[in-house]
Amino acid sequence: MFNLAIFSQLHILLTPRFPSGSRIPQQETRPVAIPAPFALPLRISFSTHRPCLWRRAMAAPLFPLRQTVRPRLWTLRTLATVLSPTSDPQVPNTFTAESNKTLKSGKNRKQIPNPRTTKMTVDQDWMSVYPAAAPFKPSAVPLPVRMGYPVEKGVPPAKEGNLELLKIPNFLHLTPVAIKKHCAVLKDFCTDWPSALDSDEKCEKHFPIEIETADYVSAGPSIYNPKARIVTLKVRLSSLNLDDHAKKKFIKLVGERYCKNTDLLTITTDRCPLRRQNYDYAMYLLTVLYHESWKTEDWEKKKTEADMEEYIWEKSRSEENILNTLLQIKASEKTSGVTEEELLGSEEIKNYKKSVVALKNEGYENHAR
């Protein structure tokens, strides 16, 4: 390997010549030792009152100096010849030796190691490289990852020194093998799934309340997402212990949150800043609605048939009229031993009841269709 070219500076003070007739001091000539990598003897002539004279030629190119120069400070720059220890064995290789010396502060100079990717094997244990969530490290990822805006219609910047790869979160610690190992460790702390809950119907029967939440992964300065606080509670009214009065009052209180076709109640809470607070608030609303629906106020006892939410056949005027008519018919026929339950349970009365209820609740147009 070739050594680098090293520049050395020789400062020579040149003074003007004495006038004619004056005595010029005797010239002094002495050899000057130039350290490696010059490794070539250089003899420089120094004179106190005249320009220097070069006795021998150098191996490096020199800038020529004129004999007549003005008195000022000159800087003579010499460029060392680049020599290789293999081509010239007389020149010692001191560049490598100097690199191991200590700095002026006394501290040892640290050698820059090779990237870790150059030492990785094919069967490298990836969990030892990324055991937990950490920013992207280009020296530890043996993949030619590129990201960023391509400059001058070129390719995106490489992974070395790429800030775009540091901004975004990565999932290098959640590889399939790592997830499998984590699950194997957590398995000792988990209980087996109940064998009795082998279907969705059984799960819904024993656990009627369903809670829905969402987690978001954002590429921004904060990993917090405001939508993550929203909690949705779903439950079927048939799974709640409600009678006819409580069920109707419950539906009246929740309004549009209840779907009659699916018998599903949906409560969404997002007023509180935290998810746990919204969950507690949703459970509080369900508890209050359940207990309030069982209460019967004084004004509810004064409700008439016109105030009802839907038409009810039991104890209605239509039921009383048809029952009185049938009793009169049976009395005219002198038929004894017929009770009211038998009359109301007949097929004709059931069809009449179905038609009247549909007419009152759905209307004439919907019933005609």
Phi-psi group of 100: left, alpha or beta (phi > 0 → left; psi -120 to 50 → alpha; rest → beta): alpha
Instruction: Show the tokens assigned to 322.
Output: 């048809």
**Are the beta carbons of 242 and 251 closer than 8 angstroms?**
no
- For 21-33, what is each residue's pLDDT tens digit? 544 455 444 444 4
Domains of the chain from N-terminus onward:
1-104 (no CATH), 125-184 (no CATH), 204-301 (3.30.160.20), 311-368 (no CATH)
Q: Tell me how far apart the alpha carbons of residues 363 and 209 are, in angstroms, rounded to a whole number.
A: 35
Amino acid 38: pLDDT: 43
Amino acid 366: pLDDT: 55
- For 153-194, what is each residue's pLDDT tens digit? 899 999 998 999 988 888 999 999 999 999 999 999 999 889
Q: Tell me how far apart the alpha carbons of residues 284 and 306 are, in angstroms, rounded to a whole number.
A: 33
Cα atoms in the 13 Å half-sphere on the side-chain side of 186: 6
The mean per-residue pLDDT over the stretch 313-325 comes to 82
- For 114-162, what is each residue's pLDDT tens digit? 888 888 888 888 888 999 889 999 988 998 999 999 988 899 999 998 9
Whats the size of the chain, residue-wise? Answer: 369
Q: Tell me how far apart the alpha carbons of residues 314 and 229 are, in angstroms, rounded to a whole number.
A: 47
Nearest CA-CA partner of 126 in 170, 172, 171, 82:
172
CA max distance for the chain = 176
Amino acid 76: pLDDT: 40
Q: What percent of the chain has pLDDT over 90?
A: 31
Across 101-118, b (16+ Cβ under 10 Å) vs e yields eeeeeeeeeeeeeeeebe
Residues 6+ apart with CB under 8 A from 155: 146
Nearest CA-CA partner of 227 in 270, 257, 184, 263:
270
Amino acid 27: pLDDT: 47
Q: Where are the beta strands (DSSP E) in the chain?
A: 7-13, 28-32, 42-46, 73-79, 210-212, 231-236, 258-259, 264-269
3-state secondary structure of 266: strand
Q: What percent of the chain has pLDDT over 70?
A: 69
Amino acid at 273: P
- What is the end-to-end Cα distance of the chain in Å, rounded? 98
Inter-residue long-range contacts of 36-43, CB under 8 Å, 24+ positions, other chains counted: 36/91, 36/92, 36/94, 37/3, 37/6, 37/80, 37/83, 37/91, 37/94, 37/95, 38/8, 38/80, 38/81, 39/83, 39/90, 39/91, 39/92, 40/81
- For 57-82, what is each residue's pLDDT tens digit? 444 444 444 444 444 444 444 333 33
Amino acid 368: pLDDT: 52
Q: pLDDT band for 361, please (50, 70, 90 cuts).
A: confident
Q: pLDDT band for 282, please (50, 70, 90 cuts).
A: very high
Q: pLDDT band for 365, please (50, 70, 90 cuts).
A: low
Amino acid 332: pLDDT: 81
Q: pLDDT band for 46, please (50, 70, 90 cuts).
A: very low
| Residue predicted with more confidence, 44 or 309 | 309
* For the ranges 13-17, 50-54, 86-90, 220-224, the one whose mean pLDDT is highest: 220-224
